[in-house]
Amino acid sequence: MTDLSMPQSQTEPRSQSAVGKVALRWLLYVLLGLFALYYLMPLFVMLTTSLKSLEEIRTGSLISLPREVSFDAWKTAWSGACTGIQCEGLRPYFWNSVLIAVPAVAISTLLGALNGYVVAHWRFKGANIIFSLMLFGCFIPFQVVLLPMARLLGMMGIAGTIPGLIFVHVIYGLGFTTLFFRNYYVTIPSELTKAARVDGAGFLRIFWSIFLPLSLPIIVVTVIWQFTQIWNDFLFGVSFSQAGTQPVTVALNNIVNSTTGVKEYNVDMAAAIIAGLPTLLVYVVAGKYFIRGLTAGSVKG
């Protein structure tokens, strides 16, 4: 009965706080909008510049829209721009990157899943140490391993080849992919493995029939992560490739740096967008799974 008098006395402050809430919300939206504009600015400049002619770039303002839309720069960037002495554009290098990234992502994801499965559900003596060492691998700066890796690739006879680059990326990705899958799989009750063992399933059968079908969210996370890392990698690409096996990032660098006479900003911008497009696409397509999967390992349900 005492509750009945409560709403009346609270009406006044409640309406005040409601107004405050709306104001706060709008302030938040405006602020977020400003930030978004700020972050989108470079992309806007790149896009407009790539659609302008060289003449217009020289005379016009940096942030103005193109007077005349022209895709010539894109054509040049894709198939005509010079990287040093060759003038084939980004195209061959783009395919190099695809040839490197796709198998490297697939292999490192699959191995990471297997590793994570073992570390989380087939505990053996020293499992913790091995897992810690793998984690440690995530934090070794790339530069440290350049020389030993070059030597190793040479000894294996795959220096300067695409398989060599795939190998490097798989090795470097394993720490992360194992971590992702391990953290995901530890949330799966071990009784599931036990039940399957009593049912007669072996190591691989349990992985294939029970764990993999459960893994879609974490596979998406791993694929996005690995694809972004490998596609955007420059250091390994420039260190362990030779003419003809360079990835798109290295080619982009070469296009931008090998200027003869006038600097073709529109071509540079178009080339940069082309080089960045695949990762952008992956984020747009699978981005919502990314956030979902990243939190899946830490918070259950």
Partner 1 sequence: MAPILDINKLYKNYGATEILKDINISIEPGDFLVLVGPSGCGKSTLLNCIAGLEEITGGTLSIGGNDMTHVSPKDRDIAMVFQSYALYPTMTVAKNITFGMKVRGVDQATQDAKLKEVAQLLQIEPLLNRRPSQLSGGQRQRVAMGRALVRDPKLFLFDEPLSNLDAKLRVEMRTEIKKLHQTLDASIVYVTHDQIEAMTLATKIVVLKGGVVQQIGTPAEIYNNPANLFVADFMGSPAMNLIPAQAHKNGAGTQIAIARDSGETLVLNDARDLALPKDVILGLRPEDIAEAGFRAGDGVQEAECLVDMVEPAGADTYVVSELGGKQVTARLHAETSAQAGKMLNLAFDMSKVSYFAQETGERLN
* Residue numbers at the binding site for partner 1 (CB under 8 A): 189, 191-192, 194-201, 205, 209-210, 213-214
How far apart are alpha carbons 236 and 244 in whole angstroms? Answer: 15
Angle, CA 170 vertex, CA 169 and CA 172 arms, to 5°: 65
How far apart are alpha carbons 103 and 226 in whole angstroms? Answer: 11
Nearer to partner 1 among residue 110 and residue 201 (C-beta): 201
The least CB distance from residue 141 to partner 1, in Å, is 37
The least CB distance from residue 214 to partner 1, in Å, is 6
The least CB distance from residue 118 to partner 1, in Å, is 17
Nearer to partner 1 among residue 30 and residue 195 (C-beta): 195
The least CB distance from residue 188 to partner 1, in Å, is 9
The least CB distance from residue 293 to partner 1, in Å, is 16
Nearer to partner 1 among residue 154 and residue 189 (C-beta): 189
Half-sphere exposure of 159 (CA within 13 A, CB side): 13
Nearest alpha carbon to residue 131 among 152, 116, 141, 109: 116
Residue with tokens 């793998």: 134
Length of the chain: 301
Nearest alpha carbon to residue 230 among 94, 100, 96: 100
Residue 299 CB neighbours (<10 A): 7
Nearest alpha carbon to residue 282 among 236, 229, 216, 244: 229
Nearer to partner 1 among residue 126 and residue 213 (C-beta): 213
Nearer to partner 1 among residue 145 and residue 212 (C-beta): 212
The least CB distance from residue 208 to partner 1, in Å, is 11
Nearer to partner 1 among residue 4 and residue 198 (C-beta): 198
